Structure 1
Amino acid sequence: MVENKYWQRNMYILTFGNFIAGVGFSMVVPFLSLYINTLHHFNTTQLSFWSGITYSITFLVSAAVSPMWGKLADRKGRKLIILRASLGMAIVIGCMSIVTNVYELLVLRALQGIFSGYISNSNTLIATTAPSHQVGKALGTLTTGTVTGNLLGPLLGGAIAQMFGYRLPFLITGILLLSAFFLCLFFVKEDFVPVKKGKELSFGQLYHKLSEPKIIIGMCITTLVIQTANNSINPIISLYVHQLMHGQGKVAFISGLVTAMPGIPSALLASRLGALGDRIGTKKVLIAGLIFATIVYIPQAFVTNVWQLMILRFLVGISNAALLPQVQTILAKESPHEISGRIFGYNQSFMYVGNFLGPLLGSLVSGLLGYSMVFLSTAFLELFNLVFVQRVTHKNQ
């Protein structure tokens, strides 16, 4: 690993960029269906169809192209890919404010997926330049930015849309991403030694270059399961709150609070737990997070009021802070510097697939077995992940 003397400044700038990227990906959640409904007179079935495909296409495209951007980052540098992603998303998301029909919005959401890679390449740049004994803390700090963006995105987007209409949030996000582009352009420094074109490793050669390929593949699968579990709750959380409140009171507002709960401890603790992993072992923190996640999901199926659910969702955020940052730290420690971009790109693809599969799983389980079973099936996923991680990480991290 080549330490960069600018790594701390890079970390803070990219943490802000990750925050903006998190906002950009999550801000449309509260009103995307409502925005689509203003573009045409859809019936309920048509609106559900267009909302689903418009929301999911970003993740599907991102999953497909992330390895390509990771490979290019290993050859051209991570900063260049970060600049491409921030500028591309700034233009694309800004243009969403002026669409006139759902087809234009769908194309722009797909382009948003093509211009993915900001977060994964930020992680790669910091993981390959920070001192080895501070990698966990550094990646935890980046995750704090992402989680905070994911937390505040729906709240900010919903509030701005309520006051000023659905188009303004897209324009504001585009402007913020443009600021992230210029901050990276002028202040992020990367001492990069490129891999020459034609000398990139094939997938088979890449696999054999890894000292522990089983761990790398295992961590990618772990990422997929973590994201599937985290997102399986999304389709039913407001409906579950509605059921617990018997349809009385400010259901939409309370649903927003319940949705936001996990993000608060995740933002506060991700960096600290990363630093703890640097001291006592990354694997230990990851295992503890999976055990805790399994435990806190089970009682969510049996709550009798919304306040119990809110407390348990807050505890879920503690477990989240111990999961993805630790996975990324393990990947950083097990990946040779010259191929780390591709490894993080593959991991990002698994993350996006989990983002896509989670809501489908939650919708399927709730439709067949009820809302409570979604939490129990999620607890089972976390338990499976716990056993899986223990099997693939046979050496201490």
Structure 2
Amino acid sequence: MLTIVVLLVSFAWSFVYVGLPFYIEHITTVGTAATLAWTGWILGVTSLVSMATTPLWGRYGSRGDTRSVFVVMQTLQALGFLAAALAGSLVELFLARVVLGAIGATSTLAFMVASREPEPSERRHRLGMIQSATMGGQVLAPLVGAAAAARLGFRVSFLLGGLMLGGCAALLQWGNLRILPPPEPISGARHRLPVQTVAMTAAVVLVGSAQEAFLASVLPGVLPGLGVPPRAMLEVGGMLIFVSGVAGAVGGLLAPRLADQVHHRRLLPALLTASSVGLVLLGAAGSIWLYTTLRIIQSLAIAPLFPLVVGRIAHHGGGEAIGILNAARAGGSFVGPVVATSLLAWGPPSVVYLLLGVAGLAAVPLTRR
């Protein structure tokens, strides 16, 4: 049940997200550079606000009735999508995205529930399934969302996304969701993670998330240079995000198997290095086909990172540690689009890829701790 809910939530968000940059282009009344700035902030502000609120929701969910918190968050998200559907200007859309960020990321509770599994291999499996469900929604939604936005309109796509989230709230309330109680700590000193460990892990998650999240925000500016005609950009962009999601879902499924066979001090640096190099190589792609191939490879490398690092510390850190890591993930989802669109406003796309790649390589030493 938990995996199904995570899949549907991810689908709803990705269903809308794929068309959001193009909707911004549709309703904008400002120049090109200002529109790029608005695009980065509208896409990223939800994650920025979520950075502050997600740890609070995680703490509340770990100490209170987890199911009820889950239901409340999904219901509020559904209402937030309705507000976005009613937005008629860039400012109104920005404010709707701020409200959605304040509600927090429900994936925090999903990872927290999965991490309560006491057996390590089963815990890694459940965390990997949550990651795969998240990526699965990102796989299935872009093509459908792009087609819906192109044929039914952007507002209708927001309304459909809100209905899906409302259905998830109903599943959580009345479905057969098994939630284990939080594990009893054996010793406070033994189970309290050092602040430095959590901070370094959060930094790695933030960089990895930025490498995942930047793409949609730059598609309207990148696709023309890859030979995509304007009339086809929305659906080609949906296809590109779709195949990235497929690769990410496969990477999430491979995470527990990789963890069983390769020590994390070798595995995590290798994954982050491969993703960063793949990003830098995107700047050399001269066609949509080569660009898509490189993005698939990069997505395969970065997708296992989050469930692997969560699996390392979540069982000892509890809901608060997961909230911090999910906040870092949300922070990356803010930093990626904002930085990417800001750089694209004055420079070529290769600068975006180079900066994100260098940031990933700089974070590699942190994965060996």
Q: TM-score range by the shorter chain?
A: 0.7 to 0.9
Which residue of structure 2 lines up, in the alignment, with residue 311 of structure 1? Answer: 293
Give the helix-richer structure, 1 or 2.
2
Maintained 8 Å contact 1:79/1:125:
no
Maintained 8 Å contact 1:300/1:372:
yes
Which residue of structure 1 lines up, in the alignment, with residue 52 of structure 2? Answer: 64
Amino acid at match of 2:213: N
- Equivalenced residue count is 365
Amino acid at match of 2:309: V
In structure 1, distance between residues paired with 2:114 and 2:267:
20
Pick from 346, 350, 353 the counterpart of residue 375 of structure 1. 353
Shift of 1:50: 5.3
In structure 2, distance between residues paired with 1:241 and 1:91:
33
Maintained 8 Å contact 1:136/1:278:
no
Which residue of structure 2 lines up, in the alignment, with residue 42 of structure 1? Answer: 29
Secondary structure of the residue aligned to 1:27 is: helix
Structure 2: give runs of 5+ residues left out of the alignment.
none
Greater CA radius of gyration, 1 or 2? Answer: 1
- Structure 1 residues 102, 294: CA separation in 2 closer, same or farther (over 3 Å shift)? closer
1:31 corresponds to 2:13: no
Maintained 8 Å contact 1:62/1:113:
yes
1:188 corresponds to 2:177: yes
In structure 2, distance between residues paired with 1:366 and 1:32:
18
- Structure 1 residues 37, 224: CA separation in 2 closer, same or farther (over 3 Å shift)? closer
Secondary structure of the residue aligned to 1:302 is: coil
- Structure 1 residues 304, 90: CA separation in 2 closer, same or farther (over 3 Å shift)? closer
Maintained 8 Å contact 1:78/1:341:
no
Shift of 1:62: 1.1
Q: What TM-score results when the alignment is normalised by the length of structure 2?
A: 0.86
In structure 2, distance between residues paired with 1:312 and 1:264:
13
Secondary structure of the residue aligned to 1:350 is: helix
In structure 1, distance between residues paired with 2:292 and 2:358:
21
In structure 1, distance between residues paired with 2:226 and 2:90:
35
Shift of 1:121: 0.8
Which residue of structure 1 lines up, in the alignment, with residue 241 of structure 2? Answer: 259
CA deviations over 1:297-319 (Å, ceiling 9, x no partner) = 23222223222111111111210
Maintained 8 Å contact 1:67/1:342:
yes
Amino acid at match of 2:62: D
- Structure 1 residues 118, 51: CA separation in 2 closer, same or farther (over 3 Å shift)? same
In structure 2, distance between residues paired with 1:163 and 1:93:
19
Maintained 8 Å contact 1:290/1:386:
yes
1:152 corresponds to 2:140: yes
Amino acid at match of 2:324: Y
C-alpha RMSD over aligned residues: 3.1
Structure 1: give runs of 5+ residues left out of the alignment.
1-12, 196-205
Q: Which has the higher contact order (CA 8 A, sep 6+)?
A: 2
- Structure 1 residues 236, 58: CA separation in 2 closer, same or farther (over 3 Å shift)? closer
Pick from 236, 248, 252 the counterpart of residue 270 of structure 1. 252
Maintained 8 Å contact 2:123/2:311:
yes
Q: Percent identity?
A: 20
Pick from 305, 312, 315 the counterpart of residue 330 of structure 1. 312
Shift of 1:48: 5.5
Pick from 103, 126, 134 the counterpart of residue 138 of structure 1. 126
In structure 1, distance between residues paired with 2:315 and 2:13:
28
- Structure 1 residues 78, 285: CA separation in 2 closer, same or farther (over 3 Å shift)? farther
Maintained 8 Å contact 1:229/1:381:
no
